[in-house]
Amino acid sequence: MASHRRPKQPSRTRRVTVLTATAAAAVALTTQAAQAEPKASEKEVKEKVDKLYEDAEGATEKYNGAKEKQRKLEKEVANLQDSVARGQDDLNDMRNGLGSMATAQYRTGGVDPSVQLFLSSDPDSYLDKASTLDQMSSKQAEALKKIQTKQRNLAQQRQEAADKLKDLDDTRKELGEKKRDIQKKLSKARSLLNTLTADDRARLAAQQARADRASASRVDLGSDASASQRAAAALSAAKSKIGSPYVWGATGPSSFDCSGLTSWAYQQAGVSLPRTSQAQAGAGTQVGRSQLAPGDLVIFYGDQHHVGFYAGNGQILHAPKPGAGVRYESINNMPFQFGVRIG
């Protein structure tokens, strides 16, 4: 007869030994994988970070455009709502006037006109009253026509206001998406920088500081005699902000993004520019590189997401990127598209 014995279970000591060995093997594999992935060099990290900053700036200009659209829509909606409120008050007054007119007509014209004439002891007086009633009916018809026209206009304005409110709601959602996109890119850039050693980060910071100091002391810009009075005034205003930090969405006076600096500086010269680099690209007369004069705007990249001032002698003055202050740089550092001369 076969024996039905339960299989012998491994001892607790043996189970612990197996688990320990498995964990050690997993650690070894993880270490090997980490060693297999070479750490990015300082140069590679910097290139990736610069690309993220460039992408973030493109997203910033889109955010600025949506922000400007929001501001205009808010103003348009407020004006439409005020107009509708005033129109409703006018309509109520017109209706009250029509009601008073109808009441007066009822009081004087409640009996058939032929009977009133037959019973009247003063036919001439009655005929005068009948003429007044006829005039009143004509005025009543005209008042009704005005009321109908006013009602149609109010309905159109209400629909327009409703459409603008929907556009405003969509724009606010778009703003939120673009803001998250910018923050995501900047956060990724910070994470990449944090993969560097403290010495590497200090070296990059020192390079950035040297670039800012060199910009502040630069004097070889050539003559600005070819600049118009307004362009020279705008460039002078921008020069007063050398060293001010780049902050996305900022328009001064203590921090700027690229189009924020150019729009602020031209505002000091009495000229109102559009908010975004793409809109500023169409704000004046396009000029080629050889035609640039100090104070002209310079548009960079195919999607026109960066703008600065031409400062002379192949240099631009601009708000470059996060972590850098307003400074001079060579016009060759970015892909030039065209210049814009503001009239």
Which letter does DSSP use for residue 256 in this model? B
User: Which amino acid makes up residue 313?
Assistant: N
Counts of helices then strands in the chain (DSSP H, E): 8, 6
Q: Is 4 a catalytic residue?
A: no
d(CA 324, CA 330): 15
For the chain, the C-alpha Rg in angstroms (whole number) is: 38
Of the residues 59, 238, 258, 261, which is catalytic?
258
Residue 285: in which H helix or E strand, if any?
strand 285-287
Of the residues 185, 318, 321, 341, which is catalytic?
318
Under 8 Å between Cβ of 231 and 342: yes
Under 8 Å between Cβ of 298 and 307: yes
User: Which amino acid makes up residue 137?
Assistant: S
d(CA 246, CA 143): 61
d(CA 289, CA 337): 9
SS3 299: strand
Q: Are strands 327-330 and 336-341 parallel, antiparallel or unpaired?
A: unpaired
Q: Is 326 a catalytic residue?
A: no
Environment class of residue 49 by beta-carbon count within 10 Å: exposed (0-12), middle (13-18) or buried (19+)? buried
Of the residues 62, 241, 275, 306, which is catalytic?
306
Annotated catalytic sites, by residue?
Answer: 258, 306, 318
